[in-house]
Amino acid sequence: MEPAGLSVPLSWGVLPPGVQAALLTDGRLLHLQHGPIDLVIEAFGAEDAARVAYVRATARFASILDELVAELPVLRAAVGAPLPVAGAPLPGG
């Protein structure tokens, strides 16, 4: 159910496989889900601005899980281990 009378359409575009985005029936909350990540978020402000925020949040969310997976070697490194140089390939990747 989409709120009536708003000028900014909600269009997620083509999402990668497994990524889901939907407004909940109240029209105020956005549900984003991909793998183990499950979020319900709300944007505050003018309705059109909130819709823009939801579209942008969905676009950014679409690659978060893949980025976290790519960083797993660094995230799993022992405390104090040397970190890779920015832009350098990650260990094990």
The 3 state secondary structure assigned to the chain is CCCCCCCCCCCCCCCCCCCEEEECCCCCEEEEEECCEEEEEECCCCHHHHHHHHHHHHHHHCCHHHHHHHCHHHHCCCCCCCCCCCCCCCCCC
Q: Is residue 37 part of a domain?
A: yes
> What's residue 13's pLDDT?
76
Give me the residues of the chain with pLDDT under 70, please. 1-10, 85-93
Q: Is residue 25 part of a domain?
A: yes
Q: Is residue 3 part of a domain?
A: no
Q: Is residue 14 part of a domain?
A: no
Q: Is residue 70 part of a domain?
A: yes
> What's residue 8's pLDDT?
44
> What's residue 52's pLDDT?
92
> What's residue 64's pLDDT?
94
Q: Is residue 81 part of a domain?
A: no
The total number of structural domains in the chain stands at 1
Task: Give me the domain span that covers residue 53.
Answer: 20-75
Q: Is residue 38 part of a domain?
A: yes
> What's residue 90's pLDDT?
59
> What's residue 5's pLDDT?
38
Rounded to two decimals, the pTM is: 0.72
